[in-house]
């Protein structure tokens, strides 16, 4: 799973927070406007979105001369995959899970118990996102279209 840098995470947060999965996505300009407090150049946002597309984190579609971007997977799926990757770093996976379980709050433990019970019963996990605690994490889509050029993106400005 791809770990995200600070700026990549900020861009993904814009996509996860403001773009419904059913929408056509947003343009580079719309993402740049949402990150206005960071005073980023348009080309910086364009580069970050291009790199995220290369990593399979975002999907993009051509709309005229511009591109529209949307997250390839949910925030929850990304976080779950990061957690699974952390478990694979070495050492005892069981010991890491036990230590994690001991660190969660009572409410979080209840959520985990309910998800595990639902999984054991063969049902949909309690998170409503369809992710499983056993590793069937929603993978980012890897379908990509050609990379935009600076001239293509200029039309989006």
Placement of tokens 């080309």 in the chain: 43
Q: Where in the chain is the domain with CATH 1.10.10.10?
A: 6-73+140-154
Angle at 136 between CA 135 and CA 140, to 5 degrees: 115
Beta strands in the chain (DSSP E): 58-63, 66-71
- What global pTM score does this model have? 0.68
Q: How far apart are the first and last CA of the chain?
A: 32
DSSP state at residue 38: G
Q: What is the CATH number of domain 6-73+140-154?
A: 1.10.10.10
Q: What is the pLDDT along the chain (157 residues), one digit of tens a residue?
A: 568 999 999 999 999 998 776 678 999 999 999 999 999 999 999 999 999 999 999 999 998 888 999 999 999 999 998 988 888 887 888 888 888 889 989 999 899 999 889 988 887 654 444 444 434 334 434 333 444 444 444 444 4
Placement of tokens 């997977």 in the chain: 73
Q: What is the rounded CA–CA span in Å between residue 72 and residue 90? A: 28
pLDDT of residue 136: 37
Residue 65 bridge partners (DSSP): none
Q: What is the rounded CA–CA span in Å between residue 82 and residue 61? A: 27
Q: What is the rounded CA–CA span in Å between residue 13 and residue 8? A: 9
pLDDT of residue 1: 58
pLDDT of residue 88: 86
pLDDT of residue 3: 80
């Amino acid at each position: 799973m791809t770990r995200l840098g600070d700026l990549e995470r900020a861009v993904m947060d814009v996509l996860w927070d403001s773009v419904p999965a059913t929408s056509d996505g947003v343009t580079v300009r719309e993402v740049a406007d949402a990150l206005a407090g960071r005073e980023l150049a348009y080309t910086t946002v364009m580069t970050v979105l291009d790199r995220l597309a290369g990593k399979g984190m975002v999907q993009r579609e051509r709309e005229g001369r511009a591109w529209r971007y949307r997250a390839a997977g949910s925030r929850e799926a990304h976080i779950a995959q990061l957690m699974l990757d952390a478990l694979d770093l070495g050492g005892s996976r069981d010991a890491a899970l036990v230590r994690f379980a001991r660190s969660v709050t009572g409410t979080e433990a209840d959520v985990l118990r309910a998800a595990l019970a639902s999984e054991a019963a063969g049902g949909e996990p309690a998170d409503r996102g369809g992710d499983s605690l056993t590793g069937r994490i929603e993978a980012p889509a890897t379908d990509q279209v050609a990379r935009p050029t600076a001239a293509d993106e200029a039309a989006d400005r």
